[in-house]
């Protein structure tokens, strides 16, 4: 079994800006991604996901809302790190 992957937060600036670095189980660099969430409506939805779902469930199915949020998080928060994780057989153990 391969050693677990490690996902580090580096260059933390605030709760909307930081960098993710993904290393393999031996400490070798795999990918990194600069996160800049900004202050979009998705950020406010993410901070209160249950409230967001309650507000918009009458207009959009919950599955659609969750799918949209997951796509946004994958693109904006994980970026290249998410792509590298998808190529690995082992999940990240430390976040």
The structure tokens listed for 13 are 């600036």
Helical pair 49-56 and 62-72, crossing angle rounded to 10 deg: 140
Both structure tokens of 84:
């590298």
Give me the domain span that covers residue 43.
5-94
pLDDT at residue 4, as a whole number = 84
Count structural domains, the chain: 1
- pTM of the complete model: 0.75
pLDDT of residue 55: 93
Tens digit of each residue's pLDDT, the chain (95 residues): 667 889 999 999 998 999 999 998 899 999 999 999 988 889 999 999 999 999 998 899 999 999 999 999 999 999 999 988 888 765 555 55
Residues in the chain: 95
pLDDT at 39: 87
């Amino acid at each position: 079994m391969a050693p677990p992957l490690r996902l580090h937060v580096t260059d933390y600036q605030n709760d909307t800006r930081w960098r993710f670095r993904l290393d393999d189980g031996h400490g070798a660099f795999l990918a990194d991604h600069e996160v800049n969430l900004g202050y979009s409506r998705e950020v406010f939805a993410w901070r209160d996901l249950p409230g967001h779902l309650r507000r918009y469930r009458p207009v959009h199915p919950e599955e659609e809302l969750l799918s949209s949020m997951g796509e946004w998080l994958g693109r904006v928060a994980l970026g290249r790190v998410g792509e590298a994780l998808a190529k690995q057989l082992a999940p990240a153990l430390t976040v």
